[in-house]
Structure 1
Amino acid sequence: MFLTLARYVRTPPPDRWWKRRYVFNNTWRFWGRHRNCYKIAIQSMQHAWRQAKKGRREKKRFVRGLWIERLKAASEEHGLPYEHLVVGLDMAQVQIDRKVLTHLAIYEPKTFKSIAEIARISYGEGLMAATGKQPEGVFTRIVRWE
């Protein structure tokens, strides 16, 4: 309750108080004036948010590269280059992303081996269809009308 006009005028409006409270709640772990002075706190908070957004993007890029490196190593174990693995799975219409393939390569090696075999066969069939020749001793489901 405001008993005097001077007391009423000195109190900040509620919106302003909550706005400042929001900024200080976001900067409470900063050091020095970066958490105590409102203007500096706003600048520090905005800088921290920009850096966090950049870090989230870099993390996604790093993790995708990690998946690809792991898949390269796992596919090389089975005698299949990574590029042939990806193209072969695309030809076989196997829609498994790199994250799941990496988990299969690490935790389910037998399953990954069968997936790599599917990719090898479908990549070979794609090459046969492109060249028009069929290697000896290989039976495929490709039907040619000659």
Structure 2
Amino acid sequence: MIQDLYSQRILGAVEEHGFKYELFMSCLTKCGVELNRKSLSNLAVYEPKTFESLVDLAKTKLREEADSEIAINTKPVDGVITRGML
């Protein structure tokens, strides 16, 4: 029951910043952030600026992964110099 309360608080705070709960938790893990749901819930309630920073970190990680995935799956255009060619 308490676990659900923590998850609901995190969900509400994450959605407030325009992000999805599952992606948020996944990206935090990939970034090496080892905060449990209780800690994240407390940050969401009592330290909203700190929580917002964690959401920004998760968004940045997601963007970096998307950029690297795009770079891996696209062929360079003829006549355009890319970082991969240097």
Equivalence for 2:35: 96
Contact 1:104–1:111 (CA under 8 A) maintained in structure 2: yes
1:80 CA drift (Å): 0.8
Higher relative contact order (CA 8 A, sep 6+): 2
Partner of 1:132: helix, strand, or coil?
helix
| Higher-Rg member (1/2) | 1
Distance between the aligned counterparts of 1:130 and 1:65, measured in 2? Answer: 34
Identity of aligned residues (%): 35
1:74 equivalenced with 2:13 (yes/no): yes
Matched AA of 1:101: L
Provide the TM-score with structure 1 as the length reference.
0.47
- Show the counterpart of 2:75: none
Would you say the 8 A contact 1:75–1:85 is kept in 2? yes
SS at match of 1:102: helix
| Structure 2 residue 42 is the aligned partner of structure 1 residue 116 | no
Show structure 1 runs of 4+ deviating over 4 A: none
RMSD: 1.7
Shift of 1:83: 1.1
Q: 1:114 to 1:130 in 2, by over 3 A?
A: same
Report the CA distance between 1:145 and its aligned residue: 5.2
Conserved? CA contact 1:87–1:123, under 8 Å: no
Select 2:44's aligned residue among 92, 101, 105: 105
Once the two structures are TM-superposed, the CA of residue 120 in structure 1 deviates from its matched residue by: 0.7
Give structure 2 stretches of 5+ with no counterpart: 73-82
Q: Distance in 1 between matches of 2:14 and 2:70?
A: 25
What corresponds to 1:64 in structure 2? 3
What is the Cα deviation at residue 129 of structure 1?
Answer: 2.3
Inter-CA distance 96–145: structure 2 relative to 1 (3 Å threshold): farther
| TM-score normalised according to structure 2 size | 0.76
Task: For 1:93 and 1:145, locate their aligned partners in 2 and report how far apart those are by CA, in whole Å.
Answer: 28
